Structure 1
Amino acid sequence: MKIHIIGGSGSGKTYLADKLSKEYGITHYDLDELQWDNKADSYGVKRNAEERQEILEDILENEQWIIEGVYYKWCKQCFADADKIYLLQVPRRVYIYRIVKRFLKRKLGLEKGKKETIRSLIHLIKWADIYEKNDMIEIKKILERYKDKVMII
């Protein structure tokens, strides 16, 4: 089984991916790990595009996978290869609550995470709003060709 989960920040992608991974014994890959250099000294440093593509191609070669993330422009092969695509959409109040909750858990050391700041939190909320208004339209257009394997939640 190859599953791709896409949705905005705070939509529940990681939660769903973790549940499916445990239930079916399939490795879960977070596209943020491909996009961002989490070993960098500061928050928000992108990984080299060629390196990111190499890692993605290695993942796609596996017989089974669960891939989740907000990205779609460089993930078209993921959609083509997936057996099932879950598109997650939640109301604004829900994703903002989840983004802030995650931020606080990370700051308190209750959850592993990136080196976020209040400034990056505000930026993420603004970004999430734009993603839901603009990117989601483009994502739905891309996924139209895969409508037989897309489930919108």
Structure 2
Amino acid sequence: MIRIHIIGGAGSGKSYIAALLSQKLTIPHYDLDDIFWDNEVDVYGVKAPEQQRDQKLREIVSQDSWIIEGVYRSWVEPSFSAANNIIVLMPPLSVQESRIWKRYEERISGVVPSKKRETYEGVKNLLEWNKEYNLIKLPHFTANCGYTEKIITVSNNLDVLELF
């Protein structure tokens, strides 16, 4: 039974490393954005109903093995509790910002298909949010979450592959 929760800021490499790790360990991985946001609406940034979101998380966590990845901290307590390891990705903020812009440009140009309908203004807001998340919120979480014995912090997401 392998249960891994990957947390980190936007552009930290959560989705990328979750996919690689999922393939290596042959277990499913889940992006929390897919259950937090309502992807059925025409407008970007609409949250899914909490009850629906929480039910989907419970269904995932009840499985024998999984990799869950996302930036979320408060409502994902069931995942943190059930995880064997909580991987915290903390690459330099400049690396994350570069990845965020690159991802936006690829999605907007259609090079990379995406169900997310981002805007330039939204990306600017994401960069601001991400800075606070990385400098204040994520360090506070790692110091105070109650699962410090499960936490593994890495600055290079590829280091995660060597851990498993």
Q: TM-score, normalised by structure 2?
A: 0.89
Please tell me whether residue 130 in structure 1 is matched to residue 132 in structure 2.
yes
Deviations 1:79-123, CA, capped at 9 Å, x for gaps: 110011100101111010000000011112122321011111111
* Secondary structure of residue in 2 paired with 1:29: strand
Change (3 A) 1:35 1:21: same
* Secondary structure of residue in 2 paired with 1:6: strand
Pick from 108, 120, 123 the counterpart of residue 121 of structure 1.
Answer: 123
User: Which residue does the alignment assign to 1:5?
Assistant: 6
Instruction: Write the mapping of 1:4-153 to structure 2, written as runs, cut at 5 A.
Output: 4-113=5-114, 114-143=116-145, 145-153=146-154
RMSD (Å), alpha carbons:
1.1
Deviations 1:13-47, CA, capped at 9 Å, x for gaps: 01110000111111110000111011111110000
Q: Stretches of 4+ moved more than 6 A in 1?
A: none
Distance 1:112 1:5 in 2: 23
* Secondary structure of residue in 1 paired with 2:147: helix
* Secondary structure of residue in 1 paired with 2:48: coil
Distance 1:51 1:81 in 2: 20
* Secondary structure of residue in 2 paired with 1:110: coil
